[in-house]
Structure 1
Amino acid sequence: MPENIQSELNGLIGTCYYPEIWDRNMCLKDLKLMKENGISCVRIAEFAWGIIEPSEGVFDFSFFDEVLDICEKLRMTVIMCTPTAAVPAWLVKKYPEVMKWNIQRQPLAYGSRKDLSYSSRIFIKLCKRIVRKMAEHFKDRPCIIGWQVDNEINCGSYNSYSPEDTLHFRKFLKIKYENISALNKAWGTNFWSQQYNAWHEVELPGKSAETGNPSQLLDEKYFISWQVSEFVKHQVKILKSLNKKWLITHNGAFANVDLDEFQNNFDVFSHDQYPLFYKNWREATFNMSRIRGHCGKFWIMEQQAGPGGKPEYLQSTPEPGQIRLWTWQSFAHGANLILYFQWRTHPYGAEQRWHGILDHDNKRNRRLSEIKSISEDIKGIPTEYWTANVDKKIALIWDYVNMSGDAVFSDVTISYEDIKKIYCRFVSMGLPVDIISNNTDFNDYSVLIDLHPRICHETHVKRLENFVMKGGKLLLAASAGIRNLNGHMRCETPPGPYSKLAGLHVSDWTKVSKEKVSLILSGEEIPAECFAEALEPETAQVVAKYKTENLVLKNKPAICHNKLGKGDVIYYGTYLNETPDFFVDFIIEQFHLSVLRRLSEGLEVSCRGNERNEWISILNHNRGKIKIPLKNITGKKIVSSYLDAILKEKTYIELKGYGIGILEIRK
Structure 2
Amino acid sequence: MHNFIIWEKELLRTLDKTRKVGTNGFLGICPRVPEHDIMAEGLDWYGWDIYPMGGRNTPQQIAEMADWWRSIAVNRGAEFHVTELQGGPNVRWGYPGFIEGPEIKVWTHQVVAHGAKAILYHQWRTAKFGGETGGFGILNSDGSRTKRLDAIEEAGIEVKKILPELEKRKIYPKAAVAYLRSSDVQTYQEQGPPRNIAGQWEQVRAELGHTHGLDSCQGAYQVLWNYYNPASFIFESNLDKNDINRFSVILLPNPYVLTRNQAENLIEFVKSGGVLITESRFGAKNENAQLHEKPILQEFLGIKSEHIETIDDRIYLPKIRCWAYGFRDLVFDDNDVLLHYKDGFPAIIEKKIGEGKIIYSTFSIFMSIGKSGNERLAEYVRNFLPKPEFFIKDRDHIEMVLWQDDDSPLLYIINHSPSKDKFEVISPEKFVLAKDILSEKTFDIEKGKLTLKLAGRESMALILSQNNF
Normalising by structure 2, what TM-score?
Answer: 0.83
Q: State the match for 2:194 in structure 1.
A: none
Task: Report if aligned partners of 2:433, 2:444 keep a CA contact under 8 Å in 1.
Answer: no
Q: 346, 349, 354: which one pairs with 1:560?
A: 349
2:262 alignment partner AA? H
Distance in 2 separating the partners of 1:600 and 1:438: 32
Aligned with 1:547: secondary structure? coil
Q: State the match for 1:305 in structure 2.
A: 87
2:89 alignment partner AA? P
Label 1:605 to 1:466 Cα distance change in 2 as closer, same or farther (>3 A).
same
Matched, 1:474 2:295: no
Within a 5 Å distance, the mapping from 1:47-58 to structure 2 comes to: none
Matched, 1:371 2:173: no
Matched, 1:271 2:271: no
1:604 alignment partner AA? E
Q: State the match for 1:57 in structure 2.
A: none
Q: State the match for 2:224 in structure 1.
A: 426
Q: 336, 340, 345: which one pairs with 2:117?
A: 336
CA drift of 1:630 comes to: 4.0
Aligned length: 426
Label 1:501 to 1:597 Cα distance change in 2 as closer, same or farther (>3 A).
farther
Matched, 1:598 2:393: yes
Q: State the match for 1:163 in structure 2.
A: none
Within a 5 Å distance, the mapping from 1:531-610 to structure 2 comes to: 531-537=327-333, 541-548=336-343, 555-576=344-365, 577=368, 578=371, 580-594=374-388, 596=391, 598-610=393-405
CA drift of 1:636 comes to: 2.6
CA deviations on 1:475-508 (whole Å, 9 max, x unpaired) are 110012122223233334xxx2243443312123
1:535 alignment partner AA? V
Within a 5 Å distance, the mapping from 1:379-394 to structure 2 comes to: 379-381=160-162, 383-394=164-175
Label 1:430 to 1:469 Cα distance change in 2 as closer, same or farther (>3 A).
closer
Distance in 1 separating the partners of 2:11 and 2:147: 42
Q: 281, 305, 312: which one pairs with 1:506?
A: 305
Task: Report if aligned partners of 1:647, 1:654 keep a CA contact under 8 Å in 2.
Answer: no
Distance in 1 separating the partners of 2:387 and 2:297: 24
Aligned with 2:126: secondary structure? coil
Q: 410, 434, 440: which one pairs with 1:615?
A: 410
2:376 alignment partner AA? F
Task: Report if aligned partners of 1:502, 1:571 keep a CA contact under 8 Å in 2.
Answer: no
Label 1:419 to 1:379 Cα distance change in 2 as closer, same or farther (>3 A).
closer
Label 1:536 to 1:666 Cα distance change in 2 as closer, same or farther (>3 A).
farther
Q: State the match for 2:181 in structure 1.
A: 400
Aligned with 2:225: secondary structure? helix
CA drift of 1:328 comes to: 0.6
1:290 alignment partner AA? W
Q: 49, 58, 61: which one pairs with 1:280?
A: 58
Distance in 2 separating the partners of 1:489 and 1:659: 52
Q: 652, 655, 666: which one pairs with 2:451?
A: 652
Label 1:348 to 1:257 Cα distance change in 2 as closer, same or farther (>3 A).
same
Percent same amino acid at aligned positions?
A: 21
Task: Report if aligned partners of 2:435, 2:441 keep a CA contact under 8 Å in 1.
Answer: no
Q: State the match for 1:448 in structure 2.
A: 250
Distance in 2 separating the partners of 1:525 and 1:465: 31
2:20 alignment partner AA? L
CA drift of 1:648 comes to: 6.6
Task: Report if aligned partners of 1:396, 1:419 keep a CA contact under 8 Å in 2.
Answer: yes
Within a 5 Å distance, the mapping from 1:144-183 to structure 2 comes to: none
Distance in 2 separating the partners of 1:379 and 1:293: 24
Label 1:432 to 1:325 Cα distance change in 2 as closer, same or farther (>3 A).
same
Aligned with 2:326: secondary structure? strand
Within a 5 Å distance, the mapping from 1:24-173 to structure 2 comes to: none
CA deviations on 1:239-280 (whole Å, 9 max, x unpaired) are 234443221111125540112211003012111122121441
Task: Report if aligned partners of 2:297, 2:304 keep a CA contact under 8 Å in 1.
Answer: no
Task: Report if aligned partners of 2:91, 2:132 keep a CA contact under 8 Å in 1.
Answer: yes
Distance in 2 separating the partners of 1:620 and 1:531: 37
Task: Report if aligned partners of 1:646, 1:654 keep a CA contact under 8 Å in 2.
Answer: no
Task: Report if aligned partners of 1:648, 1:654 keep a CA contact under 8 Å in 2.
Answer: no
Matched, 1:435 2:208: no
CA drift of 1:428 comes to: 4.1
Task: Report if aligned partners of 2:224, 2:382 keep a CA contact under 8 Å in 1.
Answer: no
More helix as a share of residues: 1
Q: 409, 423, 432: which one pairs with 1:637?
A: 432
1:562 alignment partner AA? K
Q: State the match for 2:325 in structure 1.
A: 529
CA drift of 1:399 comes to: 2.7
1:473 alignment partner AA? V
Task: Report if aligned partners of 1:599, 1:632 keep a CA contact under 8 Å in 2.
Answer: no
1:235 alignment partner AA? E
Matched, 1:293 2:71: yes
Label 1:634 to 1:500 Cα distance change in 2 as closer, same or farther (>3 A).
farther
Label 1:289 to 1:511 Cα distance change in 2 as closer, same or farther (>3 A).
same
Gaps spanning 5+ residues in structure 1: where? 1-227, 549-554
Aligned with 2:237: secondary structure? coil
Task: Report if aligned partners of 1:394, 1:433 keep a CA contact under 8 Å in 2.
Answer: yes
Distance in 1 separating the partners of 2:433 and 2:103: 26
Matched, 1:486 2:281: no
Gaps spanning 5+ residues in structure 2: where? 192-203
1:444 alignment partner AA? R
Task: Report if aligned partners of 2:435, 2:442 keep a CA contact under 8 Å in 1.
Answer: no
CA deviations on 1:74-132 (whole Å, 9 max, x unpaired) are xxxxxxxxxxxxxxxxxxxxxxxxxxxxxxxxxxxxxxxxxxxxxxxxxxxxxxxxxxx
Larger RCO (CA within 8 A; separation ≥ 6): 2
Q: CA RMSD in A?
A: 2.6
CA deviations on 1:426-462 (whole Å, 9 max, x unpaired) are 2144543212202222122111111121112122112
Distance in 2 separating the partners of 1:654 and 1:406: 45
Q: 478, 497, 520: which one pairs with 2:296?
A: 497
Task: Report if aligned partners of 2:89, 2:96 keep a CA contact under 8 Å in 1.
Answer: yes
Q: Point out the more displaced range, 617-626 or 234-243.
A: 234-243
Task: Report if aligned partners of 1:430, 1:605 keep a CA contact under 8 Å in 2.
Answer: no
1:603 alignment partner AA? I
Task: Report if aligned partners of 2:52, 2:62 keep a CA contact under 8 Å in 1.
Answer: yes
Q: State the match for 2:421 in structure 1.
A: 626
CA drift of 1:545 comes to: 1.3
CA deviations on 1:194-243 (whole Å, 9 max, x unpaired) are xxxxxxxxxxxxxxxxxxxxxxxxxxxxxxxxxx1122121112123444
Task: Report if aligned partners of 2:184, 2:254 keep a CA contact under 8 Å in 1.
Answer: no
Task: Report if aligned partners of 1:627, 1:653 keep a CA contact under 8 Å in 2.
Answer: yes
Distance in 2 separating the partners of 1:560 and 1:313: 41
Distance in 2 separating the partners of 1:399 and 1:418: 11
CA drift of 1:561 comes to: 0.6
Within a 5 Å distance, the mapping from 1:222-261 to structure 2 comes to: 228-254=1-27, 255=31, 256-261=33-38
Label 1:235 to 1:634 Cα distance change in 2 as closer, same or farther (>3 A).
farther
